[in-house]
Amino acid sequence: MAWIYLIIAGLFEIGWPLGLKLSQTTEHKVMCVIFAVTSMGFSGAFLWLAQKTIPMGTAYAIWTGIGAVGAFIIGIIMFKDPANILRIVSVLLIVAGIIALKLSYS
């Protein structure tokens, strides 16, 4: 169950930079900031649950990795962020690190 909590935490970790970016690009600034803060809270709560059994360093690295990769993808899709080969390879290295951390945990 801890790994499910960690994935959920990582997904909520994507929500707060998305909310902050939307607050800069839409007229719904307050609602977007509320969304960002709510995402932060849920992200932290699910990380807390995951860390009950997953080592802190492993959980934190995976949590931030999911958030970083998710924000990267959303940035490209929604905000036309650059998608050059160096950026994509760099994110794939983060994904490889996440997979290696999961595989190294027994």
In this predicted structure, the answer to whether residue 105 has a pLDDT above a threshold of 90 is: no
* Burial group, residue 54, by CB count within 10 angstroms (0-12, 13-18, 19+): buried
> What span, in angstroms and rounded, lies between the C-alpha atoms of 89 and 31?
34
Q: Which amino acid is at 69?
A: V
Q: What is the mean pLDDT of residues 89-94?
A: 97
pLDDT band at 4 (very low <50, low <70, confident <90, very high): very high
| C-alpha neighbours within 13 Å on the C-beta side of residue 83 | 11
What are the pLDDT digits (tens) for 42-83? 999 999 999 999 999 999 999 999 999 999 999 999 999 999
What are the pLDDT digits (tens) for 12-23? 999 999 999 999
